[in-house]
Amino acid sequence: MFAAPEPKRHRGRKRNIFPALCMLVTGMVLLFIGSAIFAIVAGGISHFGEAISSEEVLFSLRMSVTTSSISTVICLLLSLPTAYALSHVAFPGKRLAEILMELTLSLPYILLGFALLLIFSSPLGKALKEAGFAVVFSPAGIVFAQMIVNLPFAIRMMRTAFAGVNPRIEFVAQTLGAMPWDVFRTIIVPMCRNQIISAFVLTWARGMGEFGATLMLVGVTRMKTETLPGSIYLSISTGNTETAMATAMIMLLVSAFTLVVANVLDRPTGASRVGRAGKGLGLRRMKACEECEGRR
């Protein structure tokens, strides 16, 4: 008989090096991120009362909330059918459309704003302005700037959510005679409800913090096109660092609020997803058809 090889010594110690190294890197990352947040809180908390009572800061807050809400709703309405087409429909140029979406996500925001500036400075943009729809250097341009930045992001999130739906459930619904619109409305959207809510909240938060494309398209004019990031930019430009830090703290609180809302609403629904998916098609018929399909 062959002798069993001797076990390697100190193997357990070697295995413990990697987790310890990861913990060390994690501590460094948390220290770096935490120091940035602490700097905002420490610099802005003493002037926070002055900021929330400032007419200019309140104007920028209202402008950010209004434009971000409008752009987010538009992005949601456009991203739902676009994501469905990219994930469920075969059409010519689909690969090119996917590359275009990914390319837009990787471009600097100021470049996207410059592209919008070229479009709305063209004869088409001038014709729109003469018709009473001004975009450049107007609040409407803020909405377009937020859309060009957030629409590819929302589409990507929706597409990922739709691609995660079990195709067998869609097949069962189609065998029951459901049309694509019925499948989308009664199965895909209810099963992706949590992801849709998360996409809405995150897109809204991104719109609140968008600055590069907005700066290029509409500029930063006090009490006209001034958003929260624009207010910080103007405060720093004029040497008013205290107000800038207090305004940054407002944005930090808004971001924290959106994170809490996303976590509260994005709770797993468990078996209720199946119930929602069967709505409109008949849950009993759907389960029976699934059993039949399973026997095949």
237 and 151 Cβ atoms separated by less than 8 Å: no
**Residue 119, exposed/middle/buried by CB under 10 A (0-12, 13-18, 19+)?**
middle
Q: pLDDT averaged over the chain?
A: 82
Residue 276's pLDDT band (boundaries 50, 70, 90)?
very low
User: Which pLDDT belongs to residue 7?
Assistant: 55
Domains and CATH numbers, the chain: 26-295 (1.10.3720.10)
* Rounded percentage of the chain residues whose pLDDT exceeds 70: 84
User: Which pLDDT belongs to residue 14?
Assistant: 56
The yes-or-no verdict on residue 192 having pLDDT over 90 is no
Summarize the confidence of residues 10-34 as an average pLDDT.
82
Summarize the confidence of residues 61-71 as an average pLDDT.
94
User: Which pLDDT belongs to residue 283?
Assistant: 42
The yes-or-no verdict on residue 74 having pLDDT over 80 is yes
User: Which pLDDT belongs to residue 41?
Assistant: 86
126-135, 146-155, 168-177, 275-284, range with the lowest pLDDT: 275-284
Residue 174's pLDDT band (boundaries 50, 70, 90)?
confident
21-35, 100-114, 220-234, 249-263, range with the lowest pLDDT: 249-263
User: What is the pTM (predicted TM-score) of this model?
Assistant: 0.78
145 and 213 Cβ atoms separated by less than 8 Å: yes
Residue 30's pLDDT band (boundaries 50, 70, 90)?
very high
Burial 100-112 (b: 16+ CB within 10 A, else e): ebeebeeeebeeb
The yes-or-no verdict on residue 34 having pLDDT over 60 is yes
65-79, 92-106, 115-129, 253-267, range with the lowest pLDDT: 253-267
Summarize the confidence of residues 74-97 as an average pLDDT.
90
Residue 256's pLDDT band (boundaries 50, 70, 90)?
confident
> What's the chain look like in SS3?
CCCCCCCCCCHHHHHHHHHHHHHHHHHHHHHHHHHHHHHHHHHHHHHHHHHHCCHHHHHHHHHHHHHHHHHHHHHHHHHHHHHHHHHHCCCCCHHHHHHHHHHHHHCCHHHHHHHHHHHHCCHHHHHHHHCCCCCCCCHHHHHHHHHHHHHHHHHHHHHHHHHCCCHHHHHHHHHCCCCHHHHHHHHHHHHCHHHHHHHHHHHHHHHHHCCHHHHHHCCCCCCCCCCHHHHHHHHHHCCCHHHHHHHHHHHHHHHHHHHHHHHHHCCCCCCHHHHHHCCCCCHHHHHHHHHHHHHC
User: Which pLDDT belongs to residue 11?
Assistant: 56
